[in-house]
Amino acid sequence: MSYPKPSRRSWAEPWKIKMVEPIRMTTLPERQKFLIEAGYNTFLLRSEDVYIDLLTDSGTSAMSDRQWAGIMLGDEAYAGSRNFYNLWEAVTQYYGYKYLVPTHQGRAAEHILSRIMIHPGDVIPGNMYFTTTRLHQELAGGTFVDVIIDEAHDPANPHPFKGNVDLAKLQRVIDRAGPGKIPYVSIAGTVNMAGGQPQSMENMCAVRELCQAHDIPVVLDATRAVENAYFIQQREPGYEAKKVAEILKEYCSYTDTCTMSAKKDTLVNIGGWLATNDQGLFEEARNLVVVYEGLHTYGGLAGRDMEAMARGIAESVEDDHIRTRIGQVEYLGNHLADWGIPIVQPIGGHAVFLDAKAYYPHIPQSQYPAQALAGDIYTDSGVRTMERGAVSAGRDAKTGEEHFPKLELVRLTIPRRVYTQAHMDVVAESVLEVYERREHARGLRMVYEPKYLRFFQARFERAS
């Protein structure tokens, strides 16, 4: 038998599998029952009832043998653990910040930063909200204002840097509020809620310049800044020959401070930090961390967790790693796009986002089409995804009205180094199957709504 010559050279992951975790397929009647028991909220499913878990890329990575070896080198001293110093060194080496305060995860860093920097009545402009970030800003008495470019709100727009700040919008917010009322500008590297979309280096520089002119600090949510650096390498003229590590350091150099959920880029199951070049902020943060997290040399983590993070940072910026990580996301996204399934374009860094408004046009946003679609995919195949639309957007902190964002999305989030291409094929086929039955889909009504971050625990029933 002869095979046709391939017209391209394939890529493959720069690792091989040393240990596996069995997963179990359930039956259709079982999944129908589990989803009703979970109130149509995929966060409330038990993980053992899930076949392929694309709920999130947060804390779901597979660690390397070097990271696991680091776990055994945990120095579990209460104070001054050697792993803390290794982590500090890695953050300074790869992200460039002078000072480090470890936290147990990203929102703990956001909490500490918001308590220190935000005063009641302040305004915080940013390139689209993120759920926990905005909530901590609001709890500290601030108001978030979205200054992302308009293209970010259009799922079909192919702009290569949909995470960019609209500088005219930012200038208007500064003029209206006055620089004294803006404690910082909040920038996310690859914007989660926009579909994992990057910001260009040129735009980051321009934001820096504008902020410097008004003496306003820039705070980076560095959670997926490595993925952002990869997109700069791939899409921005002048960066194609640079290493991702070099681009990351330059990107961070235009900011004063960062908060970090190390559960994503950094390839660990738990961890985060607040890092800064501002000595005054550092002193305050390391004082406050002892109130909410733990001593300033462990911040809610074990020594072993900090060691795994330090090693994960170095692995995360390797070009071979990041190319295949994002290559896998693109593999899934291209499959779906080729079949005509509406997804956010360009394909994002950590996930493929289905455009639920285009997928289920007959379901009004008040009946949460993205929430319904995530449930329908689970019922079809046991693949767990999550809603990123009206349920995640929540309510206006002042009026209590529900937000109905332009983007009503389902996120198929790919954990790092966990699933194979065959898993991606199974996922794609399930999404297609559900798409083909779309006229029969029905919306949901919310029957239980928690006060904060409602998407995690809300419950639903089928709308009549």
Ligand X SMILES: Cc1ncc(COP(=O)(O)O)c(C=O)c1O
Binding site for ligand X (CB under 6 A): 58, 105-107, 130, 132-133, 188, 192, 221, 223, 261, 263, 272
Q: Tokens 């200038």 map to which residue?
A: 171
How many helices (H) and strands (E) the chain has is answered by: 16, 14
Of 224, 286, 388, 416, which is the active-site residue? 388
Of 65, 78, 404, 406, which is the active-site residue? 78
Of 31, 107, 224, 264, which is the active-site residue? 264
Q: For this structure, is 130 an active site residue? A: yes
Cβ burial of 157 (10 Å; 0-12, 13-18, 19+) is: middle
* Token output for 134: 């905005």
Of 84, 94, 130, 435, which is the active-site residue? 130
Of 60, 131, 257, 379, which is the active-site residue? 131
Q: Which is nearer to ligand X, 153 or 243 (CB)?
A: 153
**Cα–Cα dist 85/96, whole Å:** 15
Of 49, 122, 221, 265, which is the active-site residue? 221
Q: Which is nearer to ligand X, 227 or 315 (CB)?
A: 227
Least separation in angstroms between residue 445's CB and ligand X is 26
Q: Which is nearer to ligand X, 58 or 297 (CB)?
A: 58
**Cα–Cα dist 378/35, whole Å:** 8
Least separation in angstroms between residue 110's CB and ligand X is 7
Helix or strand run (H / E) with residue 360? none
Least separation in angstroms between residue 380's CB and ligand X is 25
Q: For this structure, is 388 an active site residue? A: yes
Q: For this structure, is 455 an active site residue? A: yes
Q: Judge if the upstream peptide bond of residue 346 is cis by omega within 30 degrees of 0.
A: yes
Q: Which is nearer to ligand X, 174 or 260 (CB)?
A: 260
**Cα–Cα dist 306/105, whole Å:** 12
Q: For this structure, is 368 an active site residue? A: no
Least separation in angstroms between residue 56's CB and ligand X is 7
Q: For this structure, is 221 an active site residue? A: yes
Least separation in angstroms between residue 67's CB and ligand X is 18
Q: Which is nearer to ligand X, 153 or 242 (CB)?
A: 153
- Measured at CB, which residue is nearest to ligand X? 106
Contact 305, 68 (CB under 8 A): no
Query: How large is the C-alpha radius of gyration of the chain?
Result: 22
Q: Which is nearer to ligand X, 367 or 392 (CB)?
A: 392
Contact 448, 458 (CB under 8 A): yes
Contact 193, 229 (CB under 8 A): no
**Cα–Cα dist 8/329, whole Å:** 19
Cβ burial of 292 (10 Å; 0-12, 13-18, 19+) is: middle
Phi, psi of 286 (to 5 degrees): -75, -15
Least separation in angstroms between residue 49's CB and ligand X is 22
Active site residues: 78, 130-131, 221, 264, 388, 455
